[in-house]
Amino acid sequence: MNFLSYLINGISLGSVYAIIALGYTMVYGIAKMLNFAHGDVIMIGCYVTFLAMSGQGIHPLAAVIISIVVCTLLGIAVEKIAYKPLRRATPLAVLITAIGVSYFLQNAALLLFGADTKSFSSVVTLPALKLADGALTISGTTIVTIAACIVIMVALMLFIKKTKAGQAMLAVSEDKDAAQLMGVNVNATISLTFAIGSGLAAIAGVLFCSAYPTLTPYTGSMPGIKAFTAAVFGGIGSIPGALIGGILLGIIEILGRAYISSQLSDAIVFAVLIVVLLVKPTGILGKQIHEKV
């Protein structure tokens, strides 16, 4: 019964990673860049939710919506100000800029919100589910997290498959010039991708802080890096890959913490990444990209 409970917790943590990994993987797919500031958008989202709930006494759901709006705008602004001028620059320049944005957001948070640890109260008020005569307890946060992940995945798949904007995103990620020849506004499509990724980061952040309720300006970096690992694990650029990579990573982390060593759980996660990259460099669902001449 313990194993089952660990497994469910793993899936729940993995769901958070998967939602964050979506942001990495979509932005990578479309802009061919690793947005290392993505994790810090999560942290900003958490602070916005925290301040709205504890400071203003706003209903948790409304606080989450405010946080989504703020993060979406932040994502668009970061893309416009920091990344768009580098559209034709070398990948290294973009990568270093992303790391710079990450430090900027962390230090801005330090300045705005202070260095002290805030204790985040869960936005989920759902009671825990007790199964098998109380031998298995699943917290409300866990249930909501897994449900949110499923809803987001299905909605995103439908959006991409069924809407014009979604098809434009696929077209731009495959061939920007050809997409433009179809009349697709490439810059607007890239903005939209950042907007969606950042909005999802806000949701992931709130769910993460509901499960692990300490909030500092550095809260976003670890889940950010792990979600990046999950995206690479699943095959960067692939949306189903982000889901599979995220869930597997969450399960590995929780089981590693439970059965091997709680101190080594992070090391185990990253060791898995190294092994995956050695065996299958493109990740589980990744495809070999052939450069066309």
By C-beta, is 18 or 171 nearer to other proteins?
171
Q: Please report how close the Cβ of residue 234 comes to other proteins at its closest, in angstroms.
A: 17
Choosing from 77, 155, 181, 264, the residue that interacts with other proteins (CB under 8 A) is: 181
Is residue 178 within 8 Å of 18, Cβ to Cβ? no
Q: Based on CB atoms, which residue is closest to other proteins, 30 or 43?
A: 30
Q: Which is nearer to other proteins, 94 or 168 (CB)?
A: 168
Closest contact distance (angstroms) between CB of 88 and other proteins is: 12
- Residue list 80-109, contact with other proteins (CB under 8 A): none
Closest approach, Cβ 107 to other proteins, in A, equals 36
The residue behind tokens 């995956």 is 276
Residue count (the chain): 293
Q: How far is the CB of 289 from other proteins (least distance, A)?
A: 11
Binding to other proteins by residue 292, rule CB under 8 A? yes
Strands 136-138, 214-215: pairing is unpaired
Please say whether the beta carbons of 138 and 4 come within 8 A.
no
Min dist CB 187 to other proteins, Å, is 9
Instruction: Give the residue with the Cβ less far from other proteins, 81 or 181.
Output: 181
Minimum CB separation of residue 175 from other proteins in Å reads 6
Q: How far apart are CA 111 and CA 82, in angstroms?
A: 20
State the nearest-atom distance from the C-beta of 196 to other proteins, in Å: 19
What DSSP assignment string belongs to the chain? -HHHHHHHHHHHHHHHHHHHHHHHHHHHHHH----TTHHHHHHHHHHHHHIIIIIT---HHHHHHHHHHHHHHHHHHHIIIIIGGGTTS-HHHHHHHHHHHHHHHHHHHHHHH-SSPEEPPPS--PPPEEETTTTEEE-HHHHHHHHHHHHHHHHHHHHHHHSHHHHHHHHHHH-HHHHHHTT--HHHHHHHHHHHHHHHHHHHHHHHHHHS-EE-TTTTHHHHHHHHHHHHHH-TT-HHHHHHHHHHHHHHHHHHHHHT-TTTHHHHHHHHHHHHHHH-TT-SS--PPPPP-
Taking residues 122 to 161 in sequence order and writing x for each that binds other proteins by CB under 8 A, - otherwise, the string is ----------------------------------------
Nearer to other proteins, 130 or 287 (CB): 287
Q: Looking at beta carbons only, is 85 or 100 nearer to other proteins?
A: 85
Q: For residue 183, state whether it binds other proteins (rule: CB under 8 A).
A: yes
**What binding mask, one character per residue, do residues 160-179 give for other proteins by CB under 8 A, x or -?**
----x--xx-xx--xx-xxx
Task: Count residues near other proteins (CB under 8 A).
Answer: 18
Which CB, 180 or 265, lies closer to other proteins? Answer: 180
From candidates 182, 260, 267, 275, binder to other proteins by CB under 8 A:
182
Q: Is 201 a residue that touches other proteins (CB under 8 A)?
A: no
Q: Which residues contact 116 (CB under 8 A, 6 or more apart)?
A: 216
Residues found near other proteins in the complex (CB under 8 A) = 164, 167-168, 170-171, 174-175, 177-186, 292
